[in-house]
Amino acid sequence: MGWIKISARLTSNLNSTTSWNRGLLLETAVLPAPPIGAIAAPPAPAAPPPTPPSIVFTNLALVYATQPVTLTFLVADNLTVTSAKCAVDAGTLVNCNTFSSYTLPTLAAGYHTVTVQITDSGAFTATQTSLQFWVGAATQNCVFNGASVASGASVTAYLASTVSFGDTCLSQSRTCSNGTLSGTYLAASCLVQPQITSGSPGAIGYWAYPASGAVSTMTSAGLCTSLIGLTCKPLNLSEACMSGATKKLIICQ
Per the domain annotation, does 48 fall within a domain?
no
Residue 76 within a domain:
yes
Predicted confidence (pLDDT) at residue 69 exceeds the cutoff of 80? yes
Sorting pLDDT into bands at 50, 70 and 90, what band is 102? very high
Judge whether 62 lies within some domain: yes
| Structural domain harbouring 151 | 142-192
Buried b or exposed e, range 109-129, using 16+ CB within 10 angstroms: eeebebbbbbbbebebebebe
Q: Give 164-191 pLDDT, tens digit per residue.
A: 767 889 999 999 988 899 999 999 999 8
Evaluate whether residue 100 is within a structural domain.
yes
d(CA 241, CA 223): 8
Mean pLDDT, all residues of the chain: 73
**Same-domain status, 175 and 224:** no
Asked whether residue 46 is assigned to any structural domain, the reply reads no
Give pLDDT tens digits for 184-232: 999 999 988 766 544 444 444 444 443 333 343 333 333 444 434 444 4
Let me know if residue 121 belongs to a domain.
yes
Q: Look at the chain and report how many structural domains it folds into.
A: 3
Q: How many CB atoms are closer than 10 A to CB 216? A: 11
Residue 146 lies in a domain: yes
Q: Are 181 and 225 in a shared domain?
A: no
Domain contains 244: yes
Regarding whether 63 and 123 lie in a shared domain, the answer is: yes
87 and 98 share one domain = yes
Confidence class for position 57, pLDDT limits 50, 70, 90:
very high
How much is the pTM? 0.44
Distances from the Cα of 251 to the Cα of 37, 71, 205, 244, angstroms: 119, 65, 7, 19
The one-character DSSP state at 130 is P
Q: Are residues 185 and 239 in the same domain?
A: no
